[in-house]
Structure 1
């Protein structure tokens, strides 16, 4: 799964196929025609109301993909935040369990398949080395 470039329409179509849900059911659910559903498959992004409906229909949390993107690529890592806090003299707040199962599997998979080294992952995604090594030991 590509968390960097999310094409939500492709993921919706993939979930429809995996779950074996006929397109007619989506048409009825959205009260629209088949052309509109197919058009949604082609969209890189869709509005949140429609995405929430897709989540309900497919019983899948598509929003989690965007959270994963934020954690991996947009610098909301606790290490950057803690550096700012440390420099200002405030207390550091540690956040437990911010990494989802999908994030852990994604990063462990990169190391296991030799696509990236531990150093590259810690540098690129701001994941603490001790955290990454803990995941690697468990998998």
Structure 2
């Protein structure tokens, strides 16, 4: 379950290896030692500024991992509080999230009603994904 327990250092290390980015380039970009880079790989979480730098260097949006975690594992707020912050009502589901849900159904890891209840997916959206998966 990629989004349930996020170890950001491991994700970063995997992408660095996949893209064959040299340690010299990374050290120069971050203005740090190889040991400090290794420490980031070992970290379960990173400072948001550091994560933004990694996102730029590797051209990968690491923040989407946390967004998908919130979509899948957070409950809707019960409080109707006025705020000046932007409110995003529509949930956006990535291909990975849709695939995750389709996998749960296909491998009978959860029932349809359990999925709908746990992840708070609209019924019509859910059944559209299931129908889509059956066509493959």
Whether the TM-score (by the shorter chain) exceeds 0.5 is yes
What secondary structure sits across from 1:15 in the alignment?
helix
List alignment gaps of at least 5 residues for structure 2: 81-87
Where does residue 90 of structure 1 map in the other structure?
none
Q: CA deviation at 1:97?
A: 5.5
Where does residue 8 of structure 1 map in the other structure?
8
With the length of structure 1 as denominator, give the TM-score of the two structures.
0.80
1:27 is aligned to 2:46 = no
CA distance in 2, matches of 1:66, 1:18: 21
Conserved 8 A contact 1:7-1:43: yes
Q: CA deviation at 1:24?
A: 2.1
CA distance in 1, matches of 2:57, 2:124: 39
Q: CA deviation at 1:23?
A: 2.1
CA distance in 2, matches of 1:45, 1:95: 27
State which drifts further: 55-64 or 13-22. 13-22
Number of equivalenced pairs = 126
With the length of structure 2 as denominator, give the TM-score of the two structures.
0.81
List alignment gaps of at least 5 residues for structure 1: 86-93
Mapping for residues 66-105 of structure 1, pairs under 5 Å: 66-76=66-76, 95-96=89-90, 98-105=92-99
Sort the Cα spacing of 1:126 and 1:39 in 2 relative to 1 into closer, same or farther, 3 A: same
Conserved 8 A contact 1:9-1:44: yes
What secondary structure sits across from 1:99 in the alignment?
coil
